[in-house]
Structure formats: structure tokens, C-alpha cells
Homo-oligomer: A and B are copies of this chain.
């Protein structure tokens, strides 16, 4: 066995021992008078304060997908908090309802920022979280949300968008971004127009942001979500390869920003 693979084996063994004491619970919090219901996960066997990761759901709202991501992050040693942007009990039943709900926030970026900020505060309030090491990730609508949160000037070490919409009604807000930015994108995503992608790059460039964009060949929208099926022609589909690679890219990014 070469050293290379011995190193991999050591890392794999260490990863396997983690997560033995996964804990999670629902968390109510508020934005203004609106009650929101998030979810927090952590590993009870980890000692002391640790980095915190905010997880923002896709257009279907809070639920198993985002909570599952929190569990995965907890197993990696983080405190992970699943935001609820829509409000307690507001859970779209289908794509049409999801589109209407997500649309409200895409049109009202101030409200979207307020909801995301409330979730960030709830995460920061967790005594296990090292407040200097906090990041936010999001999927589809959640990707849009975490970029918007960064544009509000939020004090974040980094953000990661997975197949998020990257458009901005106010590109000049890019100058408020303090977070390092990692955008993980399906190269064949028909729901993010090329013009939006170009505008996003331009916004990052002009704002002097520390940014990276990864394009995954053969991947369309929703590539991290097994529930999206496997038919690329629908414009949204799961892609195991891009899912695995993007998750690894996020982990490498965290290793850097939480150093």
C-alpha cells in the first residue's frame, strides 16, 4: 500500500468514528413577529466550541433535505442550523406553491435578508458555536438566500451556494460582502441564465470579493437532490458525481475558512 492510500485510509477511519453521538432538535425563533421553526444538529462527543454552519433550504421550504444536510455537517464536527425562511408550518405541497412562496422573497430581498439574518442569529446564539467561525450554505433558493445574506454585510467567514440563483437586483451591494464566496453550479443548469451568471461574476469582480465558481459538466439544476430524479431534460435532476464533488469542495472550503 502506498503512502498516498495509507493517508486516505487514516482519514476514512477518522471520519467513520465521528458522528457516534449525533444530536438534533427543532428550534423556534422569530423574525419580527413571525415565528420560524429551524433545526439544529451537533455531535455531542465533540468537545468545546466549534464552527457553525447555517443551512438554507430550497424552494420547498424547511424539511428533511436541509435537516439531513445538518446531520451530515454535525457528523463532520460542526454545529449546523437549518433555517426556516417561510415561517413555521409554511410548507409548500408542490412546485406551484413552492414557486409562489419563493417568489415572495425573491421579490422582497429586504425581507429575505431579514429572515436569513434571524436564522444566523439563532445559530450564533448556540453556546457550542464559535462565533468567529460561522458560514452559510444553501441549495437552489437557499443558494440565492446565502448570497443575499452576504450582500447584506453579514459577518460570515464564507458562503456556499449549491445550484443557487445568483442574480441581484442591486449589484452594487456586492461591495458589502465580507464572506468568502464559493458558487457550485451545474454547467447545464437552464434555470440560471448565462446572463445572470455573467452578472454575478461581474458583481464579485467589481466588489473585490474573494470568490470562486465551479461548473460541473453534465449537471443541471438541483444536482444535489435525489428527489429531483435523473432526467436532465427536465432542467432539474440529481447528479451523484456533482453531488459528491460539490460536497467535497465545500469541505475543502471550510477547512480553509475555519483554519
Contacts and interface: CB of A to CB of B under 8 A. Distances in A.
Interface of A: 1-8, 10-11, 14-15, 17-18, 43, 45-48, 50-51, 76-78, 181, 187-188, 201, 204-205, 208-218, 241, 245, 248-249, 252, 255-256, 258
A205 B15 CA distance: 35
Given A212-B216, A215-B212, A47 B11 contact: no
A255 B77 CA distance: 22
Interface of A, secondary structure class, is mixed
Contact of A210 (B10, B188, B241): B241
Given A217-B205, A241-B210, A6 B14 contact: yes
Contacts of A10: 10-11, 14
* Identical subunits present: 2
A253 to B, nearest CB: 9
A187 B215 contact: no
Contacts of A181: 217
Nearest to A211: B217
A216 B211 CA distance: 7
Contact of A187 (B2, B5, B201, B255): B201
A17 to B, nearest CB: 8
B3 A14 contact: yes
A215 B255 CA distance: 19
10 contacts: A2-B48, A3-B14, A3-B46, A4-B50, A8-B255, A10-B11, A210-B217, A211-B218, A212-B215, A249-B252
The 7 A-B residue pairs with the shortest CB-CB distance, nearest first, are A4-B77, A211-B217, A7-B14, A213-B215, A3-B77, A2-B77, A2-B50
A210 B216 CA distance: 8
Nearest to A17: B3
A4 B78 contact: yes
Nearest to A130: B2
Given A10-B10, A10-B14, A245 B4 contact: no
Given A4-B76, A255-B8, A187 B210 contact: no
Nearest to A209: B217
